[in-house]
Structure 1
Amino acid sequence: MLTANYDTLTLEHLTGVVGKKWTTFPDCIGAFIAEMDFGTAPSVIQALRETVDNGFFGYLPDALEQGLAAACADWYRHNTDWEVPADRVHSMPDVLKGLEITLTHYAPKGGTVIVPTPAYMPFLFVPKMHDREIVQVPMLQDNGRWEYDLDAIDAAFAAGGEVLVVCNPFNPIGRVMTRDEMLAISEVVDRHGGRVFSDEIHAPIIYAEHRHVPYASISEVAAGHTITAMAASKAWNLAGLKCAQMVLSNDADVAIWESDGAWSAHGASTLGVIASIAAFNTGQEWLQGVIDYLDGNRRFLAGAVSDLLPGVSYTMPEGTYLAWLDFRETGLDGDISTFFREKARVAIVDGSACGEVGQRCVRFNFALPRPLLEQAVQQMSSAIKAV
């Protein structure tokens, strides 16, 4: 396993890096945008360095496209036991492009998009850009555990829903869904002839007691109504290189892709494909070291919230490096993220951007060096005490 002392990364070092996370609010600890501060795998850097040294920045050749498909399919096979034919894996610039393609090519009725909330923020506005109505379906909580509201999803489909967005692992609450949970969802979707867009971008970041199960792998029924989106970008810190994968899981969707879908996905960058191939094929050892560090961070955050943020609710995520912090019992009101940015110098995502259910909550990215994670919580605690 590759290990690194991420504790030594300082605020001065991170703010000197040209990146959105640390330049958008340069006077704040950056815990808002979903990327990590830990670089990427050495094998990824080597692959990119060789490409730069060769001066190759041209159009994406077929051989690299095929290499990416094989690498993604192999990753799924080795890590989830899902046997994905490589010829059903296709490149695209990012996961949101996958949602757009799903709406324009695989859900042609123009029906409503059902979004469980709290949700990844763009899921609440990208469908509107394609003239789709959105129905927010708040997740249920049972003793701190988030669960899908199957009755509400069923009602939303009955009222004209066409596409259900499934995010697994779930950004921003960190749930990793079980096979039984997804089977129950698939029965509802199938009953109404609906479609599922399955965002699995965080799938490589799963903590030891859990396992990622691809939604389309659970049954032939699920495979028949699912478009899966995947990328190496979150786990290996490659978001700026613009490369993701769309995975098709039934013959009908393959036929649509071959007739008029492929050009819609055009735009994955050559460097992004090269980096993603290296990540999937040779980056797992590095990633495991990062996951171990993140595991320590999520546990540290649990203790820090308990000690320093009384009244705040936090359930340790099962996957991702995102925490959902509920401040509704603290007396804070209004725009919580602005309060912490101005009073605590900590930049986070206001929960209201994740849906109506997110009022007085925040999404907190804990993929920070642990000393800065501790500093962020301490500054948030001091800001609350000063109110």
Structure 2
Amino acid sequence: MTTTDARRPIVDLTDEQARRALPLKWGVPGDVLPAWVAEMDYAVDPVVMEAVQQALADGVTGYPQERDPGLAEAYAGWSARHFGWAPEPEAVRPVVDVTAGVRLAIDVLSGPGGVVFPTPGYNAQFGLATVTGREEVRLDVAASADRAEVDLDRLDRLFADGAQTLILTQPHNPWGRVFTRAELEGIRDVVVRHGARVVSDEIHAPLVLPGAEHVSYLSIDGTHDHAVAVVAASKAFNTAGLRCAQLVVPDPAARARLDAEPMSRNDSWSPLGAVAARAAYDLGDPWLASLVERLDQQRALLGELLAAHLAEARMRPLEATYLAWLDASAYGHDDAAAVALERGRVQVSPGESYAPGTTGHVRLNIATSPDRLTQIVERLAKAWR
């Protein structure tokens, strides 16, 4: 399969369609606007949907392939087009989702020492270290920092004290940061100095917005012997429920260790998820280009709305993802998300779930229609002011 040049438009779901398509995000009372979980209020790319529908018509409901060369080649081609770097297809392994892939990599490849987890951090990955029998070591980034960065001196001390693995989420959720090549090289230098490992969660890589550029950690010289990346088409193409991500393992010895593990180590992914991922990687570029353009417009609209209605709210620059990290503490509410729901009938994600102990912060999903985003911010202003 090859890509096509014609753009495919982004189609906004109606409220009724969204309630059917997104039962978690939209499983809220009818008067509540959902702006929380990381799903988009957009119809799936028709090319991806057609591929899945054809697979269902063909009866593809059995077990997936243990190796999927077509999926591996599709990801490698997609990575080469978008990032100018690609792994060898034999380095790509399917997994059920990104969080499971991170857990598998730590479980099998990491030493017994602690796992460094920068916070604020993706809330579903809190406790991953504990699940694998390791200590979770948090590397806190100050809430007051205008540009969230990994403190290399602090990271160095944590490794010196016995930690052995870093979970690197990049682009970052919920910061919205895209790490530069220089930043990644600095992280590599610290990791190599201590003989540590990196598990790089790059699920948001397709969603880098204009003005920034994604650099895969694995594209940095001197990383292949100590790092893996976990990637997926599911976040960018709104297909998380189809359950298929990919683990990129460039080191042959690490691949051999993973391949030697019992089947029970790796939750089974879905063959329909693999079909969707292949279609997205091979044929999804025109739709993805339209999506990034829409999200860029939403980012600009959010800035205008905050200036007009919530001038005291602070937002770090949103360089990637459709998830804005808002500091609303100036309005005096410790649990700003609870106030938003109670007074404004808007559901946003509480900041405390990404940075325990944080007050006044929320994560806001902007992947919706301009009209809904306008209503969301207006309601937040009514609730918080």
* Pair 1:289–1:80, CA change in 2 (3 A): same
Give unpaired runs (5+ residues) of structure 2: 1-5
2:7 aligns with 2
1:121 aligns with 123
Map of 1:163-312 to 2, 5 A cutoff?
163-220=165-222, 222-260=223-261, 264-312=265-313
Are the equivalent residues in 1 in contact too, given 2:231–2:247 (CA < 8 A)?
Answer: yes
Deviation at 1:262, TM superposition (A): 6.5
Tell me the SS of whatever aligns to 1:50: helix
Are the equivalent residues in 2 in contact too, given 1:43–1:278 (CA < 8 A)?
Answer: yes
Structure-1 separation of matches of 2:311 and 2:96: 42
1:359 aligns with 359
Tell me the SS of whatever aligns to 1:302: helix
Q: Percent identity?
A: 34
* Pair 1:258–1:169, CA change in 2 (3 A): same
Map of 1:75-94 to 2, 5 A cutoff?
75-94=78-97
Deviation at 1:328, TM superposition (A): 1.9
Instruction: Tell me the amino acid that sits aligned with residue 94 of structure 2.
Output: S
Tell me the SS of whatever aligns to 1:246: strand
* Pair 1:116–1:5, CA change in 2 (3 A): closer
Question: Are residue 106 (structure 1) and residue 123 (structure 2) matched?
Answer: no
Map of 1:33-72 to 2, 5 A cutoff?
33-61=37-65, 65-72=68-75
Deviation at 1:263, TM superposition (A): 5.7
Structure-2 separation of matches of 1:131 and 1:324: 31
Deviation at 1:252, TM superposition (A): 2.3
Deviation at 1:103, TM superposition (A): 1.9
* Pair 1:214–1:132, CA change in 2 (3 A): same
Deviation at 1:257, TM superposition (A): 2.1
Aligned length: 380
Normalised to the residue count of structure 1, the TM-score between the two structures is 0.93
Give unpaired runs (5+ residues) of structure 1: none
2:328 aligns with 327
Deviation at 1:66, TM superposition (A): 1.2
Deviation at 1:143, TM superposition (A): 6.9
Deviation at 1:125, TM superposition (A): 1.7
Q: Could you report, residue by residue, the CA deviation over 1:88-108 in whole angstroms, capped at 9, with x for unpaired residues?
A: 10000001111111221101x
Instruction: Tell me the amino acid that sits aligned with residue 246 of structure 2.
Output: Q
Deviation at 1:142, TM superposition (A): 8.6
Tell me the SS of whatever aligns to 2:57: helix
Greater shift in the superposed pair: 254-263 or 355-364: 254-263
Structure-2 separation of matches of 1:232 and 1:188: 30
Instruction: Tell me the amino acid that sits aligned with residue 309 of structure 1.
Output: L
Instruction: Tell me the amino acid that sits aligned with residue 14 of structure 1.
Output: A
Structure-2 separation of matches of 1:350 and 1:141: 14
* Pair 1:262–1:229, CA change in 2 (3 A): farther
Normalised to the residue count of structure 2, the TM-score between the two structures is 0.94
Structure-2 separation of matches of 1:361 and 1:270: 39
Instruction: Tell me the amino acid that sits aligned with residue 44 of structure 2.
Output: T
Q: Could you report, residue by residue, the CA deviation over 1:255-305 in whole angstroms, capped at 9, with x for unpaired residues?
A: 212322766224110100001000000001011111101100011101111
